[in-house]
Amino acid sequence: MTQAVAIPAPQPVSIPIREILPYAILVSVLALAALYFVSTDNNAMTLMAEGYVHEFLHDGRHLMAFPCH
């Protein structure tokens, strides 16, 4: 049969998990590290940067609803 084939309606094509996985690992680690810096009133951080980073990000932490002080 060589009849014209009906053009299928555009279907969303899901992205294979194996394509997502390497990005998922890398991005999760980096993003969680960044969120840890921003969101927590953290002692290790305070020691590391002598409190500068902690105070620098202070108002953002309060206004993004993270527990602060």
Partner 1 sequence: MMRTLLVRGLLAGLLGGVVAAVFAYVVGQPLMDAAIEVEEAAAHGHDHGDPLVGRGVQSTFGLLVAHAAYGVAIGGLFSLLFALAYGRFGAWSPRAYAAVLATGAFLAVSLVPFLAYPANPPGVGEASSVNARTAAYFGLLAISVVAAGIALYVATRLTGRWGGFNTGIALTAGYLAVVTVSGVLLPGFDEADGFPAELLWDFRVAALGNLVVFWVVLGVAFGALAQRSLPAHASASAQATGLRQAGAS
Q: Which positions touch Zn ion (CB under 5 A)?
A: 68-69
Interaction between residue 44 and partner 1 (CB under 8 A):
no
Least Å from the CB of residue 48 to partner 1: 13
In degrees, rounded to 5, the angle at the alpha carbon of residue 48 between the alpha carbons of residues 34 and 29 is 25
Q: Is 17 helix (H, G, I), strand (E, B) or coil?
A: helix
44's contact among partner 1, Zn ion, none, with CB below 5 to 8 A by partner kind, is none
8's contact among partner 1, Zn ion, none, with CB below 5 to 8 A by partner kind, is partner 1
Name which position in 12, 45, 47, 48 contacts partner 1 (CB under 8 A).
Answer: 12
Cβ contacts of residue 50 below 8 Å, gap of 6+? none
Q: Cα separation of 66 and 69, whole Å?
A: 10
